[in-house]
Structure 1
């Protein structure tokens, strides 16, 4: 292993660690950071072992993580009794929450959005609170799924280098 390859591998591992941290504490998109670590490795060490199929597969994994994030939130809001208004409120809450609450907006935004959406649609406050709790359950479930996807991505990377 050349010094440049070693440096590239160490840098990739740092990206992977940061990616897992940001998956659990969603300030930045953790799965994208993991993917970026693979790209950095390829740029520095060469793409001999990481071909087009590898990166297409990794991109699909990134897409699946975002789909899981969305689907888990919607499923949990519905499971906890939220209406379509609560689902839309949680989606809007994610976007608005980031700007209003910063990093904590990823958690607070969907919760408050689901509660507000349910109340605006005429739902009872208890139902609105359950829908908000559903967003938290969905967030935790999606985080677990993203950690599994990220681990699979990293294992695949190390099986190739």
Structure 2
């Protein structure tokens, strides 16, 4: 049973790390679930460690919604740009991997702002803000998932 839990834990860690790049999957919570499953298998972590990581994951989930919107608003964007960025990332991931993850949000935010009635100059500036926000958010999630994966590996 312990071996099965360790395998499930490892799969959660891998899925969570991949989910840090893919906006459809909640990467950091899945990675954290991997730590919890490993805790059930062999109890390598303290309660404080698990609580601190739960708080970090919760903060990242909140920031996941705030950072892209902040980047867009900071550079004069609207909700059209935010939604365009999200839709562009999803389309980019499925139809143009791996470059679609990078170009999709930028193009999506630009198109979204144009649909919202902005001039092309203002739409491009807003798209850059949304793109920078999504990139920042992705980097935060990858770092957090990477650190949790590190703790998983050293605990085996």
Q: What TM-score do you get using the length of structure 2 for normalisation?
A: 0.68
**Offset of residue 147 of structure 1:** 0.5
Structure 2 residue 129 is the aligned partner of structure 1 residue 134: yes
Tell me how far 1:18 sits from its aligned partner: 1.3
Gapped runs of 5+ residues in structure 1?
A: none
Matched, 1:72 2:53: no
RMSD of aligned residue pairs (Cα, Å): 3.6
Equivalent residue for 1:55? 50
1:11 aligned to which of 5, 8, 31: 8
8 Å contact kept, 1:93–1:109:
yes
> Residues of 1 paired with 2:49 and 2:107: CA distance?
37
CA distance in 2, matches of 1:114, 1:69: 20
Instruction: Provide the C-alpha distance between the structure 2 equivalents of 1:34 and 1:26, rounded to a whole number of angstroms.
Output: 14
For the residue of structure 2 that corresponds to 1:24, the secondary structure is coil
Q: Which residue of 1 aligns with 2:145?
A: 150
Deviations 1:65-100 (A, max 9, x none): 224433431343245x224xx1x34555578x49x9
Q: Which residue of 2 aligns with 1:37?
A: 34
Tell me the CA shift for residue 159 of structure 1.
Answer: 4.6
Q: How many Å separate the matches in 2 of 1:118 and 1:18?
A: 35
